[in-house]
Chain A
Amino acid sequence: MQKVVKTALAALSFTAMAAVPALAADPIKIGSVLSATGPAAFLGDPEAKTLQLYVEKLNAAGGVAGRKLELVTYDDGSDAAKANGFAKRLIEDDKVDVILGGTTTGATMGMVPLVEKAEIPFISLAGAVVIVEPVKKWVFKTPHTDRMAAEKIFADMKKRGMTKLALLSETSGFGQSGRKETIASAAKAGIEIVADETYGPKDTDVTAQLTKIKGIAGAQAILVFGLGQGPAIVTKNIAQLGIKLPHYESHGVASEEYIKLSGAAAEGVRLPAAALIVADTLPANDPQKPVVTGYAKAYSGAFKAEVSTFGGHAYDALMIYVDAVKRAGTTDKAKVRDAIEATKGFVGTGGVVNMSATDHMGLDLSAFRMLEIKGGKWTLAD
């Protein structure tokens, strides 16, 4: 209900603004399709809140290039077919200037053919490599890829003198894409995958798979690739079975919820994540410090909720677009697209973004920090 009221208020205030002749220019229409409900809701929900919050903020500060922003958001209920339909609605009916979103890789890939055909800038908030590889002219993304997560973990393993990894991945899109990338890039990094097990996102117990892994001689570390509650259950099961192997998680659990759900069992778990999650403990000279503390403060202030990296991806997408519009001096889609591709040195919550014609994500491994959970808190491991 609150949201409806807010939308109504926003509409009212917008009408009031429009009455002022100086601002008579059409608003910049920002379209987004997010999974605010359904299985991916814990990703889509903070994303939707973030976009809403920052569009309001930008408008309060006078808009972008003298024009107000107007946000049109649809909830795909975590269903790729619905995302496809809503993308059509945004393109054809709402006639938006840009599309942000696609919370999941499935939803994103369902929209890609449409945006490519309609020639409209599209910044995805989903993780998998396939979104930007091969490069698609109109498609960009802000989150780190699963391949980067795997590479970061491999590097950390090597540093600790380990080469044999037991992999336990979730049967969700995120988990399976992660599994594929982990296996694909293991050989190059000199890592041997000694176990390859899976679990379902709604499983209530994963001890069977872990018992199997426990019985494998030579495994030196466990990597769990999943999202949401599943990894928390795995973490508890690992503790229950008394498995002492170093335990890595993916960037998919970089939220306070994971620690809360796993409790003491999460102690010592390492994972690659964006600096956002350790905003407070970053050294003052870190280039990302002002951005991440600013976002974390604004988000938790507005929604009384812990900040997650997922909302950060939405922040980055919106700001990269706004930045590109400012540089292009127009919302002309082709020019903005070129400007997005030319993004250099943009500091976001996910890292420092340097895009190019061959890289539509623009993040390198330095964007990931290796974190360790100590005393129930995220800390920098390096």
Chain B
Amino acid sequence: MSQFLQLLFSGLTVGATYALAALGFSMIYNASGVINFAQGEFIMLGGMVAAVLTAAGIPLPLAVLAAIVVVALVGLLVEKLAIEPARDADITSIIIITIGVSMIVRGVVEVTLGKGGRALPHFSGETPIAIGGATLLPQSLWVMAVTAVVVAALALFFGRTRVGKGILATAHNRLAAQLVGVDVKKVLLASFGLAAALGAVGGVLIAPIATTSYDAGLMLGLKGFVAATFGGLGSGVGAIAGGLLLGLIETMTAGYLSSSYKDAVPFVLVLVILVVRPRGLFGLGPSERV
């Protein structure tokens, strides 16, 4: 029982970070129909910037805030310089562009911040909390709590604010949104900034547990993509559910079946889901989105 509880805790922690990554994918997908293969690099960048700043003596909260702002700016820059000029290109070209952007981000970090791994201090100590024979790091609570707050904030944002509603409208029908006066360009820009900030939040939260390095983004990005597909691209609820589910499946596989094949299981499942339910678990329709 304590083993199951331990696996549950681990799965939820890992899953929460996947969920944040998946939310970033879904947000950009909603606003633009683009799958942003650079989303993983936003996660990496958040962790790296915060780690470098704290190592330079800047207090942790300030470093975290600065990292999120910096990455959000990078997100805006990416949209302005790489995505907007290619608005009319087809899906394949845009996938290639975002892959190119991810290489540029990774390469620049590699050259400027180095190839070594970096760790960020835990937000509130490393003393594990014991629950029912299992242990949980305070940082895991941070990860889950912040994810929950972010989800709630996003729900408010999309439900109550003009920009949020604009993004939803654009996602639903670009032309119609334009006709009723939504500035589609601004919506796109905002979605990239937001998604990048989301990525940075995820990166900063997981860095104390997982450490970070210039090449940490690729795998996190892929897992986020899997999670988003799991839940249904574009669905906020789906992204959260997909992320948590993915995390749980991974740890349960590693704990009970085979640790060698734990990384293959999500990909096999995503194939099965795509075949059985091509729009993912929660990709029902526009009304289902956050």
Contact = CB atoms under 8 A, between A and B. Distances in A.
B183 interface: no
Contacts of B11: 208
Interface of B: 3, 6-7, 9-11, 13-14, 17, 110, 115-119, 126, 128, 135, 137, 206, 209-211, 213, 215-216, 218-220, 250-252, 254-255, 259-260, 262-263
Contact of B17 (A204, A257, A265): A204
A263 B119 contact: yes
A42 B215 contact: no
A240 B137 contact: yes
A215 B3 contact: yes
B88 to A, nearest CB: 33
17 contacts: A38-B215, A42-B117, A198-B259, A204-B210, A205-B10, A208-B6, A208-B254, A208-B255, A211-B3, A236-B209, A240-B128, A240-B137, A241-B6, A257-B116, A257-B117, A263-B126, A264-B126
A38 B215 CA distance: 8
Nearest to B214: A41
Nearest to A207: B10
The 8 A-B pairs of least Cβ separation, nearest first, read A204-B210, A208-B254, A229-B117, A208-B255, A202-B219, A208-B251, A41-B115, A207-B10
Contacts of A41: 110, 115
A31 interface: no
A90 interface: no
Given A205-B251, A208-B262, A240-B128, 12 more contacts: A42-B117, A45-B115, A202-B216, A204-B210, A211-B7, A211-B10, A214-B3, A228-B117, A229-B117, A233-B210, A239-B128, A257-B116
B165 to A, nearest CB: 35
A229 B250 CA distance: 20
B211 A261 contact: yes
A293 B3 CA distance: 47
B117 A205 contact: no
A27 interface: no
B126 A198 contact: no
A241 B210 CA distance: 15
B116 A204 contact: no
A217 B13 CA distance: 27
A242 B135 contact: yes
Given A202-B216, A205-B209, A261 B259 contact: no
A302 B70 CA distance: 32
A232 B255 contact: no
A209 B13 CA distance: 15
Interface of A: 37-39, 41-42, 45, 171, 197-200, 202, 204-205, 207-209, 211-212, 214-215, 228-229, 232-233, 236, 239-242, 257, 260-261, 263-265
Contacts of B135: 240-242
Main secondary structure of the interface of B (DSSP, over half): helix
Given A37-B110, A233-B211, A240-B135, A197 B259 contact: yes
A228 B211 CA distance: 11
Contacts of A257: 116-117
Nearest to B260: A198
A204 B128 contact: no
B123 to A, nearest CB: 14
A200 B253 CA distance: 13
B46 to A, nearest CB: 14
Contacts of B10: 205, 207-208, 211
A209 B257 CA distance: 10
Nearest to A264: B126
A167 to B, nearest CB: 11
A200 B210 CA distance: 12
Contacts of A260: 119
Nearest to A43: B115
A220 to B, nearest CB: 20
Nearest to B210: A204
Contact of A209 (B9, B14, B255): B255
A170 to B, nearest CB: 11
A211 B255 contact: yes
A171 B18 CA distance: 21
Contacts of A198: 259-260
Contacts of B216: 202
A199 B17 CA distance: 18
A39 B128 CA distance: 31
A208 B219 CA distance: 19
Nearest to B17: A204
Most buried by B among A204, A215, A232, A242: A204
A207 B6 contact: yes
A208 B254 CA distance: 6
A209 B110 contact: no
B283 to A, nearest CB: 26
A25 to B, nearest CB: 37
A198 B115 CA distance: 24
